[in-house]
Structure 1
Amino acid sequence: MDGQLQGLIDAVDLARDERSIRNAIKKFAVSSGFDRYAYIHVHGDDAVVFSDYPAEWLSLYFAKHYTTIDPVVTTAKRTMRMFAWSAEERELRRSSRDIKQFYSEAIDFGIRSGVSVPIRTSYGRTAMITLASDRQRVEVPPWDPMQAALALAYIHVRLSLASGSSFKTGNVTLSTQEATSLSWSSHGKSMNVIADLLGIRPRTVQFYLDNARDKLGASNLQQAVRIAMEKKLI
């Protein structure tokens, strides 16, 4: 197996939880020359997403139901093969207004090109991983397509087991501990105070807050609180 892909599988295998799996994918994306990653599991209009894309872009993506028109998703579902894509391809000149707007907004968030690997999962669903870049164009890495698909299949299983994910049309589910810790934080409570209130250690509170921040795609705790409140999670 390709050394990079084998390294990814090894890192995911050693990961203890969802956050560690996401970190392993992020490191793989960066070491492969990309800026960001997105894992998405789609079935119709429903989707489960794990990504380090900007939170504002993810919120916009689901608010506008872009899973139904995203050319990367539709191409993945149609071809079931690894492919490179760019928001600045000449063919876009003949695209619909909605797709042109989609790509224009993606570019605003630094998502200009990338490589995607899809696989078919149960009940006709599609899982895919995208490595994205702000460059105008990228080339497909010299990975064996079958090995890349196997790596994605492994990530898919590990993420599904670690997160207990279900289809919620872009919604985020926080555990009781994550939501409670985030709620106390929104009221200005420090980590030590939250730990005393919940009868747990401060580092456990940190763990719950970090998980909540990652799930919400936030870059800091304040942003996580804002997103959680907007989504009525706290």
Structure 2
Amino acid sequence: MDEAFRCLIDKLDSARGHELMVGALRDFAASIGFERFAYLQKEGMRVRTLSSYPEPWKKIYLERHLVRIDPVVREARLRREPFAWSADQWKSTDDREMRDFRNEAISHGIRSGITVAVEGSFASTLMLTLASPRREISTTFSQHGAKAIQALLSVHYRSLVRSTRVDVGPRQTLSPKELLCVEWAARGRNGPQIADILGMSPRTVQDHLDKARKKAAASTVPHLIAIAKDRSWL
């Protein structure tokens, strides 16, 4: 197991692009008995992923924003240590969407796995999952907590700095007027000043900023500005 972790870190360190990163993680997963891997960063409504999951499943997951109901994501937000999970153990429910989620995940070969999660910037959640179509899996990975977290953080760093492409879920993009209000707020203007500049009422400006905060899952206008800069909206 130590050798597998070392090889993963070395390969990620030399990876120059999306395909090499996917290859490194796919090899790592296979070396310890898993068929699939998935890296996920969730920040508010925004989801970034890097995975070897089947393309049809990735499309369904992102387009339907299934991160909302994903039991693994929910558990990851509560736990900061590696944990095993199984779709067979998810409680039956009258919620049709949840039943469909479980059945579709299994049909795409995602039945069990191990996940490690840590808290990222802006209260985001970072996750690395190794998955299998089998009912039972080895829990060896979860017994190496420190190394697992090191691997996760390494994937996160490379995905931001070196990956040429990362799958991104549907963005809650800002409207032109919302973006204008955020831009002027970022320049230090208050509501009445922005209203005067843009020829709007202060209430309309506040409404645009409130909608923008909701889309970005920001708690305050300064938080909104920070997120907007981080996502290159400004």
TM-score (norm 1): 0.67
Give the aligned partner of residue 114 of structure 2: 115
TM-superposition CA deviations, 1:170-195 (whole Å, max 9, x none): 57xxxxxxxxxxxxxxxxxxxxxxxx
Paired residue secondary structure (1:4): helix
Letter in 2 for 1:38: A
8 Å CA contact 2:18–2:164 kept in 1: the answer is: no
Distance 1:148 1:135, change over 3 A: same
Give the aligned partner of residue 34 of structure 1: 34
1:22 aligned onto 2:22:
yes
1:153 aligned onto 2:159:
no
Letter in 2 for 1:134: P
TM-superposition CA deviations, 1:134-153 (whole Å, max 9, x none): 00122322542012101110
User: Quick one: distance in 1 between partners of 2:14 and 2:7?
Assistant: 11
Q: Any unmatched runs of 5+ in structure 2?
A: 172-234
Give the aligned partner of residue 141 of structure 1: 140
Give the aligned partner of residue 226 of structure 1: none
Paired residue secondary structure (1:92): coil
Give the aligned partner of residue 216 of structure 2: none
Paired residue secondary structure (1:16): coil
User: Quick one: distance in 1 between partners of 2:94 and 2:79?
Assistant: 19
User: Quick one: distance in 2 between partners of 1:95 and 1:80?
Assistant: 29
TM-score (norm 2): 0.67
Distance 1:166 1:87, change over 3 A: closer
How far does residue 167 in structure 1 lie from its aligned partner after superposition?
A: 8.8
Higher-Rg structure is 2
How far does residue 45 in structure 1 lie from its aligned partner after superposition?
A: 2.2
Distance 1:37 1:11, change over 3 A: same
1:88 aligned onto 2:92:
no
Paired residue secondary structure (1:157): helix
User: Quick one: distance in 2 between partners of 1:93 and 1:31?
Assistant: 33
Q: Percent identity?
A: 35
User: Quick one: distance in 1 between partners of 2:166 and 2:52?
Assistant: 19
8 Å CA contact 1:45–1:67 kept in 2: the answer is: no
Deviates more, 1:91-100 or 1:129-138: 91-100
TM-superposition CA deviations, 1:181-217 (whole Å, max 9, x none): xxxxxxxxxxxxxxxxxxxxxxxxxxxxxxxxxxxxx
Paired residue secondary structure (1:136): coil
User: Quick one: distance in 2 between partners of 1:78 and 1:95?
Assistant: 24
Distance 1:168 1:36, change over 3 A: closer
User: Quick one: distance in 1 between partners of 2:108 and 2:151?
Assistant: 27
The total of aligned residue pairs comes to 170
**Cα root mean square deviation, aligned:** 2.1
User: Quick one: distance in 1 between partners of 2:165 and 2:107?
Assistant: 29
8 Å CA contact 2:87–2:112 kept in 1: the answer is: yes
Letter in 1 for 2:48: V
How far does residue 97 in structure 1 lie from its aligned partner after superposition?
A: 3.5
User: Quick one: distance in 1 between partners of 2:110 and 2:169?
Assistant: 21
Letter in 1 for 2:114: V
Give the aligned partner of residue 209 of structure 1: none
Paired residue secondary structure (1:138): coil
Q: Any unmatched runs of 5+ in structure 1?
A: 172-234
8 Å CA contact 1:44–1:68 kept in 2: the answer is: no
User: Quick one: distance in 2 between partners of 1:53 and 1:38?
Assistant: 7
Letter in 1 for 2:99: K
User: Quick one: distance in 2 between partners of 1:81 and 1:99?
Assistant: 25
TM-superposition CA deviations, 1:82-111 (whole Å, max 9, x none): 11111101x513574432221111111111
8 Å CA contact 2:42–2:124 kept in 1: the answer is: yes
User: Quick one: distance in 1 between partners of 2:14 and 2:166?
Assistant: 23
User: Quick one: distance in 2 between partners of 1:80 and 1:69?
Assistant: 19
